[in-house]
Amino acid sequence: MMNLQRFGQLPVHQLLMAIIGSMSSICTLSGLSYWLVNGNSESKLYMMTSFTVSLFAWGMYAIQKNMPKDSPYTTLITPSLLFLVIVIITLYNPMALHQMWVALIFFPVMLSLLVEFRVYVVGSIIFSLYFLFFQIFGPTYGNDDGFSPIIMATTKGVYALGCVILGGIIITAFNQHKRRVEAAAFQQQKQQVINILQCFIPVGERKTQTSRKEIGEMSILLKSLVNEYGSLRVQDWEIDLLSLLHFVSRVKLPDYMFEKEEKLTEFEFEVVQEHCFMAKELCEGIPDFQEVEKAFLYHHEKVDGTGYPYRLAGDQIPLLSQMLGLVEVFLAMTTPRSYRQATSPREAYAEIQKLVGHAFRADIVDAFGKVID
């Protein structure tokens, strides 16, 4: 049972070679048995042909197994050599089979199991050209049971085209299934990150003496700003996650720093900078989270290059990072603290306008002004 499970976990190109090798090995044993009993030349030819195919298949299996997995040529070797073997067999036809074209038309189906769509299209064109060549110039064996040559040529062409279409359907269905699996895996990853962050919301509320409603407020403002700005493609879930990250990232800071009115010491400033790396720590290595990770990492950078953690300037700062930083400043001023009253939205925006060219881009500040209006 364990061997069967291990066999089923092989890559498709290795699995195909193992199946061909196994089938041809059985045919070799069958031909050997028949040759030992009867000793005729046909069974000997059958045995030798099967043995040659078996030797080729198992040799290819061994080569594939020992090739580096990240090699771009690993998956191309099998279809290339399969095609080469099919060409040799169909042209040479050692057993003088009349319907050798039937073996040829299975190639597109096998190809669809081995390669991506673009390679399949190229392979199908090569197959179609060879199939046409084989029908015109290949060996002939009489009149195909008395059927008209036109009917036979049409039938063969239709079957060949059908196999190309079938291969295309197989590879399309596989890609659709792959996308569904990837989407489900991404949703699971996203939910895991959200669940982890939500566990820290009560800690963030206790530390900052603020409400989790700030997460929703930030999300609404950020979405409105993105829509008003217009040239930025951001999904709603990314903004929701950024807002949640921003609130929860405060748990990395000591409690006393939320009440401190004096200027931070150099050490305290280094501690504050650490919260920018929370998204990187949680999301690193997950491709779909790259925009969230990047936006959060740089949301304290300033256009004049005096921000942190990397002192980026101007266009080096992602637009979404600038927007997140601006909304953060706005909410910080309009949310009451124990040591000061809340500022009105218009007063807060007036203060933000003073930061144009220093902390924020003018076009983003202008777009935010339209949002709060």
The domain that holds 344 is classified in CATH as 1.10.3210.10
Instruction: List the domain range (segments joined by +) for residue 155.
Output: 68-199
Q: Which residues of 40-49 are buried (b: 16+ CB within 10 A; e: fewer)?
A: eeebeebbeb
DSSP 311: -
In this structure, the answer to whether residues 232 and 360 fall within a common structural domain is yes
Write down the pLDDT at residue 260.
Answer: 66
In this structure, the answer to whether residues 340 and 224 fall within a common structural domain is yes
In this structure, the answer to whether residues 295 and 219 fall within a common structural domain is yes
Say if CB 201 and CB 212 are below 8 A apart.
Answer: yes
Residue ranges of the chain whose pLDDT lies below 70: 1-9, 69-74, 93-100, 138-147, 255-261, 337-340
Q: How many Å apart are CA 361 and CA 229, to the nearest integer?
A: 12
Of 199, 232, 263, which residue sits at a domain end? 199
In this structure, the answer to whether residues 190 and 214 fall within a common structural domain is no
Domains identified in the chain, total number: 3
Write down the pLDDT at residue 96.
Answer: 59
Of 51, 66, 81, which residue sits at a domain end? 66
In this structure, the answer to whether residues 328 and 218 fall within a common structural domain is yes
User: Which residues are within 8 A (CB) of 207 and not within 5 positions of it... i.e. 6 or more apart?
Assistant: 250, 251, 253, 255, 258
CA-derived radius of gyration, the chain: 33
Q: Which amino acid is at 241?
A: L
Write down the pLDDT at residue 1.
Answer: 46
Place of tokens 């079938």: 166
Say if CB 77 and CB 87 are below 8 A apart.
Answer: no
In this structure, the answer to whether residues 344 and 217 fall within a common structural domain is yes
In this structure, the answer to whether residues 186 and 218 fall within a common structural domain is no
Write down the pLDDT at residue 180.
Answer: 93
User: Which residues are within 8 A (CB) of 364 and not within 5 positions of it... i.e. 6 or more apart?
Assistant: 225, 229, 319, 322, 323, 326
Which residues, listed in sequence order, are joined to residue 337 by a DSSP beta bridge?
Answer: 340
In this structure, the answer to whether residues 167 and 222 fall within a common structural domain is no
Which run of H or of E encompasses 115?
none
In this structure, the answer to whether residues 57 and 159 fall within a common structural domain is no
In this structure, the answer to whether residues 237 and 282 fall within a common structural domain is yes
pLDDT tens digit string along 92-118? 766 556 666 777 888 898 888 888 899
Of 151, 178, 199, which residue sits at a domain end? 199
Q: How many Å apart are CA 291 and CA 239, to the nearest integer?
A: 10
In this structure, the answer to whether residues 130 and 228 fall within a common structural domain is no
**Secondary structure (3-state) at 137:** helix
- CA-angle at 337, arms to 251 and 263, nearest 5°: 75
Say if CB 259 and CB 274 are below 8 A apart.
Answer: no
Write down the pLDDT at residue 306.
Answer: 92
In this structure, the answer to whether residues 232 and 335 fall within a common structural domain is yes
